[in-house]
């Protein structure tokens, strides 16, 4: 995360951009880095994307080297959806479970060695608003639980040995809403970024909002809504408007 006005983008919303560019071009620009690559990628997905079991994993481990940046052997299960795969880097022994969705524009998604991304998790970087820090960087030996969502418009950095329980949401984006005369969708967005440091544990259903840093070794309780930094030392309990927010360190 860094400071400055580059956190704010008042570019047009997705619907307006689609009309301006043309819907076909807008769709293709969000799926791949070129038309040629789009044809190659979709051909491989059609032929190999639905094959289950070790046979499918083995075939994809070989063929997907043509469209992904792989730093070693990886395991990609069937029904994994990949958009902008040229911008996705997978380290050694990364595992992508069934139903995982990675959308990686423009700076992309990096997943470090030995990290598991479980069923129906979504790592999404769709930056059509020109934000400079967009991207998702996940360290080594992490676990991203089932149906977790990471939105990386402002940049999300996750350290090593981080545990995300099921349905965690990490949302590095927010809406501008200061002009009551305009719909919120037309007012732009802010995107400060989120950092999760080494060894942290985010409990089931926790929500981390934009601009937050979760310190090394910290524990965020299940169902918490985190709106400010969690230090790597100490423990605090807060009671927001809805629910109970529990933050602290496991040590």
Asked, for residue 1, whether it belongs to a domain, the answer is no
In this predicted structure, the answer to whether residue 240 has a pLDDT above a threshold of 70 is no
Q: At what angle do helices 53-63 and 35-48 cross, to 10 degrees?
A: 160
Asked, for residue 157, whether it belongs to a domain, the answer is yes
Structure confidence at residue 6 (pLDDT): 56
Dihedral angle of Cα 203, 152, 104, 146, to the nearest 10 degrees? 10
How far is Cα 243 from Cα 246, in angstroms, rounded to an integer? Answer: 10
In this predicted structure, the answer to whether residue 241 has a pLDDT above a threshold of 60 is no
CATH number of the domain where residue 184 is located = 2.160.10.10
Residue-wise pLDDT tens digits, 32-68: 989 999 999 999 999 999 999 999 999 999 999 999 9
How far is Cα 7 from Cα 26, in angstroms, rounded to an integer? Answer: 24
Read off the tokens for 115.
Answer: 């990290």
Q: Which domain holds residue 138?
A: 8-249
Average pLDDT over residues 81-93: 97
133 part of the active site? no
Asked, for residue 2, whether it belongs to a domain, the answer is no
Dihedral angle of Cα 48, 53, 59, 65, to the nearest 10 degrees? 90
Using 50, 70 and 90 to split pLDDT, how confident is the model at 9? Answer: low
Residue tagged active-site, from 86, 133, 161, 175: 175
Asked, for residue 3, whether it belongs to a domain, the answer is no
Asked, for residue 109, whether it belongs to a domain, the answer is yes
Using 50, 70 and 90 to split pLDDT, how confident is the model at 132? Answer: confident
Residue-wise pLDDT tens digits, 19-39: 676 878 878 888 998 999 999
Q: Which residue has the higher pLDDT, 96 or 7?
A: 96
Domains identified in the chain, total number: 1
Asked, for residue 51, whether it belongs to a domain, the answer is yes
Is 41 in a helix, a strand, or coil?
helix
Asked, for residue 102, whether it belongs to a domain, the answer is yes
Structure confidence at residue 53 (pLDDT): 95
Structure confidence at residue 163 (pLDDT): 98
Asked, for residue 234, whether it belongs to a domain, the answer is yes
Displacement of CA 11 from its chain's centroid (Å) = 21
* Polymer length in residues for the chain: 251
pTM score, two decimals? 0.87
Rounded to the nearest 5 percent, the helix, strand and coil shares of the chain are 20, 30, 50
Average pLDDT of the residues of the chain = 87
Q: Which residue has the higher pLDDT, 184 or 244?
A: 184
């Amino acid at each position: 995360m860094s400071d400055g006005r580059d956190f704010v983008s008042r570019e047009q919303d997705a619907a307006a951009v689609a009309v301006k560019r043309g819907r076909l071009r807008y769709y293709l620009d969000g799926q791949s880095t070129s038309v040629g690559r789009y044809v190659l990628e979709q051909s491989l997905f059609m032929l190999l994307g639905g094959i289950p079991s070790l046979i499918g994993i083995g075939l994809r481990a070989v063929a997907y080297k043509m469209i992904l940046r792989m730093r070693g052997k990886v395991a990609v299960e069937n029904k994994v959806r990949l958009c902008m795969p040229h911008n996705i880097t997978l380290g050694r022994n990364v595992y992508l479970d069934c139903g995982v969705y990675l959308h990686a524009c423009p700076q992309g998604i990096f997943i470090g060695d030995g990290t598991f991304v479980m069923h129906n998790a979504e790592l999404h970087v769709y930056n059509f608003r020109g934000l400079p820090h967009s991207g998702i960087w996940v360290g080594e030996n992490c676990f991203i639980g089932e149906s977790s969502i990471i939105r990386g418009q402002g940049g999300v950095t996750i350290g090593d040995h981080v545990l995300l329980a099921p349905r965690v949401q990490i949302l590095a984006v927010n809406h501008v809403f200061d002009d009551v005369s305009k719909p919120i969708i037309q007012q732009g967005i802010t995107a400060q970024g989120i950092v999760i440091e080494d060894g942290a544990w985010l409990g089931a259903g926790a929500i981390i909002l934009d601009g937050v840093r979760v310190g090394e070794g910290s524990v965020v309780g299940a169902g918490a809504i985190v709106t400010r930094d969690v230090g790597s030392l100490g423990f605090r309990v807060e009671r927001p408007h809805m629910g109970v927010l529990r933050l602290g360190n496991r040590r």
